[in-house]
Structure formats: structure tokens, C-alpha cells
Structure 1
Amino acid sequence: MLEPPEPDDDAAPPPSRTLAAASPRGLVLACAGLLHRGDLEGARRIAGAVLSSADPRGDAADRLAHHFARALVLRADEGHGGGAPAVVGAGPASSTAYLAYNKIAPFLRFAHLTANQAILEAAAAARRVHIVDLDAAHGVQWPPLLQAICDRADANLGPPEVRITGAGPDRDVLLRTGDRLRAFASSLNLPFRFHPLLLPCTGQLAADPATGLELHPDETLAVNCVSFLHRLSRDGELAAFLRWVRSMNPAVVTVAEREGSAGGRDDDDDLPRRVAAAMDFYSAVFDALEATVPPGSAERLSVEQEILGTEIDAVVAGPGGGGGRPRGFEEWAAAAHAAGLSPQPASTFAAAQARLLLRLHYPSEGYAAEEAGGACFLGWQTRTLMSVSSWH
């Protein structure tokens, strides 16, 4: 009679046991690998296991895994295994989520404060100022700048005239933003105009960047690129856009972007590598929220769902889905130099102001702001998360 075979210690465990033993991060990366290879059924099975076990209201690791698994399901449902990326069609976040993000995390305020300081310094002697804001959203960046312009105005001359061209994909949001900014400027007795510039997609701007843009030679021009350039996914598209910006001879160009690099080429859609790099970045963001905001906070949930979740969807969708290709400050700087722009180093005051912002409004010890290489950087623990630089 034959004896039963001895157990093979090297044999692969059953799939169910493998899924149960893997970490949420490991499961997400395994799902990305299967999706990249075209195994949609396997990818959906693993993503389903993550969604059933990772609580979107749980700890930071669970919340992070849940959002990545959901984004991978969206990509799988589009039927894209390893080829062209799915297209993300989500609209802009609600004003409630946007303002909540501004309140509970420093990223937006850090970017706005530092960029505003560069604009304020560049337009110090101007009598007419034109700001082209390429992602106007709800316009929360501009009231502090308008206030600062009034505060420093010559009493005999009065404040200068300020015009903002605010770009975005939603006309109604832009119109409401313009109404709010006009009302605020009126309360300051500041001459002010707001022009909405509807840009359904960044590709339209790259193809015809002068669309709807009105320039006057007697205005001091500032071009504000806060969380915008990453949407120009291809290096050629980015280069063409920056050359156009340079051709307008702006007094200042402000650039604020997430810090990250997944490497690769413009046409390279290496999903596992991109997901791994994005998980490293967003794990720091979710950890920061975990350290500063209670798990059940309604504000935190809206931020994670409407803003961070939408960003993760775009990253997983790939360059064609609005996520762009991750770049770090050195890559942004190289592109700016190549377009003929010159760096405008951050002032000592700007860096000190950023550190004061963190100390007063975000007292967690994990955040840090520093100046290096002429730019300002914001980080959590040992991870650099955002850079702000200015050019002319």
C-alpha cells in the first residue's frame, strides 16, 4: 500500500490562505501586478478581499489600502489590463471637502502661503497685477494675498488694480469663486476683476494655451501653477507649456507640486511600480491625518473620499486618466530651466512664515518645513511631500 506523500514545505499555500496572510499593502501590489498582466478576474478577486477587510473608517493603513483597491477595481472595470489607462472623469471636490482639507492638513495652505509671498514680492511696485491661476478651484488662495496687497499699499496712491484669470473644468464653480472674490475685494476697496477660463482638460491648454487668455502690456503678470503641472503627463507637453509661459515674460511663475517619482518613460505604464510609489507617498499623508484628526471625523472622511481618493484614482488610471507621471523637484526644476525660466529663490521670510503656519495651525511634531536649493519643502516625518518654487 502506498504511503501518503510527505507535506512539501516549499509548496505554495492555497490562495485563500495566501490572501489571509498578506498585508493590505501586499495585496494591493499583488492586485496591481495581476491587472498589469491582464488578469482581470484575479485582480478583482484580490481587490475584493482588500475591500472586504480594509475598513475605510479604520486605521491609516486600512483606509489607504481601501482607496487603492477601489481605484484598481475602477481600472479593471474599464477593461484595461496593461494597455491604455482608464479615464478618470470625477469632477472637482466640493467646497466643503476643499475647505476641510485646508483646515486639517497644511498642504494647501503651505503651497498658497509660500506662492503668495513670491507673488507679493514680485509685484511690490506694480500698479496693475494680473494673476493667471491655472487651478482656481474655490479660490481660497487669494483672499490672504488681496488683504496683503491692501495692507502694504501706499496711502497716497491706494491699492493697485488686481485681475485674476481663474481656470478650471467647471464653469459654475468658477463663477461662484469669482463672486466670492469680488465681494471680498469690494470689502477692502480694492479694484478687482475676475475672468473665468473654462478648461475641460489640460490637453486643451497644451494644444492652444492662449485660449481665452487676455494679456495687457502694462500689467505685472504672475502665473500660478499650484497642483497643476503634474497633469501635463508627457515631457513634451510639459516642455511646450513652460515655453509658452516663458513667452509671456511673467514677473513670477509659482510652482507647487507633490514630491514623488516613479521613474519610467512617458509611454511606460508600469502599473505595479506606479502604485508602489504612490502608496509610499500617500501612506505618509494618511499617517499625518491619523496623527492629527480623529478616525471618525466627518471632515477627514470627506477629504479622504473627495480629494485624496480622487487623486489615487487618477494615479492608478495612469497618464491618460489625469494622474500624470510623478516627478520630483529636481525634474520640475530641470524642465523650468530647459524652458528658459530662471529660479527666484525663496526669501528667508517665506520659509519662516511656513514654519510659523505649521506651529500655529498644525501643531503635530511630525510636520516640518525647510528651505533648500531655493525652494520650500514640506514633509511628514522623514518623507518630503511637497515643494514650492518660483521662477521668472
Structure 2
Amino acid sequence: MPLGAAEACCWEAPCAAAQPQEDNTFLRWIIGGDDGSSAVMDHIPASSAHQPLPSLPPLDTPPPPNFALKPNAEAEAEAANDGTTAALAVEQLAEAATLAEAGDVLGARETLLAMAPDIGAPGTPLLRSALYLKDALRVALSGSSSSSNPNSVVLIKKLGAYKAFSEISPVLQFAHFTCVQAVLDHLAAAACIHVLDLDIGVGDQWASLMHKLARRRPGAALKVTALVSGTASLELQLVHDNLSSFAAETRVQFRFAAFNLDAVNPAELLAIAAGEGEAIAVHLPAGSVRGPVLELVRRLGAKLVVSVDRGCDRGELPFAAHLLQAFQWCASMLESMDAVVGAGSDVIERLVIQPRVESCVLRRYRAAANGEKTPPWRAMLASAGFVPVPASSFAEAQADSLVKKVPVRGFRVQKRGAGELVLHWQRGELLSVSAWRLTSSS
């Protein structure tokens, strides 16, 4: 059930006084711990409004890479054929996106129907990327979304795919560790850190923050407020229950709330963010940087804004150019995954990568249909009075160390501008993380 302004969820977990319980949360299972991978989700705590989630079903994990080599001539011919098919698919995607941007929905649909039926899996990253963008554009043109509120079994399968992705690729850990480190570097002295999160996911980054707060500042408190758009209550309940359980284990005082960003009264957020000694940090993805959001962040008096840019959401670009940007990002992501695990990561692609691609295409298509075109997100932050905050030397070292642990070469970390950390695969940019604060004169 989507959350309306008056239906905002707010739960309190007085975890400082709670006794540690046997750890069976999916957060420990995802982020790892002293017990390694043995903490499988036999049970997930649920409120009285939900039935306990079932045991984790077996995940279709990628098989070991197949190192059988094809004859050179056959491999070269196959690569050349895939390259030709991919080039044609990109041209057709661009044509369909241009027609959609011009309002010719019928022409765009006909162009998608004319695309080669054999693109996609199994195939090269370029071909699979073309398939995901084709499907995303088809969904956008239909005026609906293929995503729906998942039941418990589907949700657990997504969590399994999420865990597998976190294990084989440094992308998620790079984003989470860098965000958490920025919060620690600038707000760790506060008695209470209040995170407003516009991209909560499964919440595991804040479990990591709890773990570090418990070690560095015993007695510290953490509040997390999820700002979402029409999300499912089951997913939010799962995030709340498991963060609360993790807080009990680490003895961190914790509160969780959730609001529908599309319907919330700013006065409600101002009321819950008015705690004495509370330092507010905002987790703001680049695709969510908008004037009204920045104005709300300013009114809340946020001490820090941490932005994650996945490179597949460019509100300043025309729709067709945005779609091609998303195609390039997706192809780089799939290529990096293939390099690490070989063929067979289709479960991760279907449950993690494809929904991300669909979301950014659908959001940009709707914005373009409404005539919206925003400036580059960094320029919007700057014009609203925010300045970049340099990344700490520890954050840089942590990112470099993470990349060096990956068993293949090709990932690298670059420092850009005044402190933005960027994760690359070969020549493609996968993700960047930057921290911002309001100038004293703003």
C-alpha cells in the first residue's frame, strides 16, 4: 500500500536498552559479518500486519565461468556479427526514442517491433543492454510500469540477487562505504545523526553506519527517514524490522520513519527533524536532484548532502540522448559483471540491473512528456547554495582497497573535482559519490 502524507510510518526502537538477540536478519546476511555467509535468512522479523517471510529459496547463482576457447576464426566471426547487430539495435533505439520525444508513440512502437528479435541473453553486454533499453522504452510507451508491489517470495529472491551482486561487483560496496564514510567524517561528533534517504534500497548502508558508530561513539543515536514515491509497505516494513534488529545487536539507539515524498507536508518533516543535538544528512541520488527537493533540504537545515550518480539519469539531456546514456552505462555494468563471473549472471541482471534501467528511462520519459528539462544536477546543487566537500584520505584509501580486492583488473577509482570519487570499469563510468554542504552565507 502506498504511503500517503497522513499514513507516514514511524516506528521507534529503544535499542540501547535492548538485549542482543540471535542474529537472523537479512542485513547481516547481506553485508557479511564474523560468521561469514552462514547467517542465511531462516526468518525475517515481521510486524503483526505481516506474516513471517518464508525461508530463502535457492538462488540461481551464476555458474563458474566457461573457459573453453572457440577457434579464432569462429570467435572473430561471432564477435563481428554481434557488433553489427548491436550497432543496428542502437540506431533503432535512438530512432524510437526520437520519435517518442516528438510525441509519435505509434512510430516509436513500430520501430521497437522492427528491432532484431535475437538481441539479448545470451549475448554480449551490448546486445543485452539493447534488450533492457528496448524493454524499458516499451514499458514507458505503454504508459504503465512493469514493476509491482512484490510478495514475500519475490522480495526474498530480489534480496538474494542483491546479495550476489554485492559479492561479485564492487559497485554497491563502493557506493555504501563512501556514503557512510562521508557521514562519519563530518557528523560523527553529533549526539544523533538523522539520515533522510531518497534511495533507501534495503537499508544495508545504514546498518554499516550503525556498526561503525557503535565502535567509534558508543551511545550515539541514529534516525533514518525514508522519503519514497509510492513504495510498498512490505518493503519498508522489512527495512524497518531488520534495521531495528541490527540496532539491538549493536546497541545503537534507532528510530525509523517513512513518508511519501509526493504527498508529504513539509511541516511533518520539519517536526521530526527538530531534535536537539541532531545533525541531518541527506542521501540524495543525482536523479532526484530537483528544485523542490533542494528547497526542502535547505529548510531542514541539513549539514551534509551525499549524492550518488549512477550515470544513467541525465535530466538535462533530451530524452533520446538520455536513453543512449543509459544504454552506455548498462553496457559497461554488464561488461564488468561478465569479466568477474563470466556468463550466467542473468538473475542479477533481471532483478537488480534491469529494474534500475527501467526506472531511469520511465522517470525521464514522463518528465519529457511533461516538458520538464532540468539543469545538470551539480549545477542545481551549486545554484541552491551547496558547495562540494572534499573526500577524506581514508575514504579514498578505502575505495582503492575495495577495488584491489576484485579478482580481475579493469575497475579503478578516480578523484574528480573538489572531492568526488568515481568508480570506473575500463573507460566507462559506473558510479560517483560526492558530498555537499550549504555555504555559510546561504
The structure-2 alpha-carbon separation of the partners of 1:353 and 1:53, relative to structure 1 and needing over 3 Å to count, comes to: same
- 1:344 equivalent to 2:389? Answer yes
Matched residue type, 1:280: Q
2:192 and 2:315 map into 1 onto residues whose CA distance is 42
Which moves more between the two structures, 88-97 or 125-134? 88-97
The structure-2 alpha-carbon separation of the partners of 1:221 and 1:22, relative to structure 1 and needing over 3 Å to count, comes to: closer
Q: Which residue of 2 aligns with 1:358?
A: 403
Q: How does 1:189-268 map to 2 (within 5 A)?
A: 189-190=251-252, 192-199=253-260, 202-204=261-263, 208-212=265-269, 214-227=272-285, 229-232=286-289, 238-259=290-311, 264=316
Aligned length in residues? 342
Q: Which residue of 2 aligns with 1:277?
A: 325
Task: Work out whether residues 336 and 342 of structure 1, in 8 Å CA contact, stay in contact via their aligned partners in 2.
Answer: yes
1:262 and 1:382 map into 2 onto residues whose CA distance is 19
Task: Work out whether residues 117 and 350 of structure 1, in 8 Å CA contact, stay in contact via their aligned partners in 2.
Answer: yes
User: Could you report, residue by residue, the CA deviation over 1:150-206 in whole angstroms, capped at 9, with x for unpaired residues?
Assistant: 1113xxxx331222223332222111111111111211222x22323132xx5435x
Structure 1: give runs of 5+ residues left out of the alignment: 1-18, 79-85, 233-237
Matched residue type, 2:123: G
Task: Work out whether residues 311 and 325 of structure 2, in 8 Å CA contact, stay in contact via their aligned partners in 1.
Answer: no
2:147 and 2:163 map into 1 onto residues whose CA distance is 22
The structure-2 alpha-carbon separation of the partners of 1:42 and 1:162, relative to structure 1 and needing over 3 Å to count, comes to: closer
Q: 1:57 aligns with which of 103, 111, 122?
A: 122
The structure-2 alpha-carbon separation of the partners of 1:29 and 1:363, relative to structure 1 and needing over 3 Å to count, comes to: same
- Calculate the aligned-residue CA RMSD, in Å: 3.1
Q: Which residue of 1 aligns with 2:181?
A: 117
CA apart distance, 1:347: 0.7
Task: Work out whether residues 313 and 360 of structure 2, in 8 Å CA contact, stay in contact via their aligned partners in 1.
Answer: no
The structure-2 alpha-carbon separation of the partners of 1:55 and 1:130, relative to structure 1 and needing over 3 Å to count, comes to: closer
Task: Work out whether residues 420 and 434 of structure 2, in 8 Å CA contact, stay in contact via their aligned partners in 1.
Answer: yes
Higher RCO by CA contacts (8 Å cutoff, separation 6 or greater): 2
Classify the secondary structure of the residue corresponding to 1:174.
Answer: helix
2:328 and 2:374 map into 1 onto residues whose CA distance is 14
Q: Which residue of 1 aligns with 2:49?
A: none
1:249 and 1:151 map into 2 onto residues whose CA distance is 27
Q: Which residue of 1 aligns with 2:79?
A: none
Task: Work out whether residues 315 and 323 of structure 1, in 8 Å CA contact, stay in contact via their aligned partners in 2.
Answer: no
CA apart distance, 1:358: 1.4
1:279 and 1:106 map into 2 onto residues whose CA distance is 20
The structure-2 alpha-carbon separation of the partners of 1:43 and 1:53, relative to structure 1 and needing over 3 Å to count, comes to: farther
Task: Work out whether residues 319 and 368 of structure 2, in 8 Å CA contact, stay in contact via their aligned partners in 1.
Answer: no
Task: Work out whether residues 284 and 308 of structure 2, in 8 Å CA contact, stay in contact via their aligned partners in 1.
Answer: yes
Matched residue type, 1:125: A
2:353 and 2:192 map into 1 onto residues whose CA distance is 37
Classify the secondary structure of the residue corresponding to 2:263.
Answer: helix
Matched residue type, 1:189: R
TM-score (norm 1): 0.76
CA apart distance, 1:121: 1.6
Matched residue type, 1:140: D
Q: Which residue of 1 aligns with 2:335?
A: 287
The structure-2 alpha-carbon separation of the partners of 1:344 and 1:55, relative to structure 1 and needing over 3 Å to count, comes to: closer
Q: Which residue of 2 aligns with 1:70?
A: 135
Which moves more between the two structures, 379-388 or 40-49? 40-49
Q: 2:112 aligns with which of 37, 43, 47?
A: 47
Structure 2: give runs of 5+ residues left out of the alignment: 1-83, 438-442
Matched residue type, 1:165: T
The structure-2 alpha-carbon separation of the partners of 1:194 and 1:57, relative to structure 1 and needing over 3 Å to count, comes to: farther
The structure-2 alpha-carbon separation of the partners of 1:183 and 1:172, relative to structure 1 and needing over 3 Å to count, comes to: same
The structure-2 alpha-carbon separation of the partners of 1:66 and 1:344, relative to structure 1 and needing over 3 Å to count, comes to: same
The structure-2 alpha-carbon separation of the partners of 1:344 and 1:323, relative to structure 1 and needing over 3 Å to count, comes to: farther
Matched residue type, 1:287: E
Task: Work out whether residues 51 and 66 of structure 1, in 8 Å CA contact, stay in contact via their aligned partners in 2.
Answer: no
User: Could you report, residue by residue, the CA deviation over 1:255-283 in whole angstroms, capped at 9, with x for unpaired residues?
Assistant: 11123675757xxxx44322222222222
Q: Which residue of 2 aligns with 1:82?
A: none
1:364 and 1:160 map into 2 onto residues whose CA distance is 39
1:342 and 1:38 map into 2 onto residues whose CA distance is 38
The structure-2 alpha-carbon separation of the partners of 1:389 and 1:91, relative to structure 1 and needing over 3 Å to count, comes to: farther
Q: Which residue of 1 aligns with 2:221?
A: 161
1:226 and 1:36 map into 2 onto residues whose CA distance is 27
Q: Which residue of 1 aligns with 2:78?
A: none
CA apart distance, 1:218: 1.8
Matched residue type, 1:110: F
Q: Which residue of 1 aligns with 2:245?
A: 183
User: Could you report, residue by residue, the CA deviation over 1:61-101 in whole angstroms, capped at 9, with x for unpaired residues?
Assistant: 221111122223223434xxxxxxx6675558732333333
Classify the secondary structure of the residue corresponding to 1:130.
Answer: strand
Identity over the aligned pairs, expressed in percent? 26
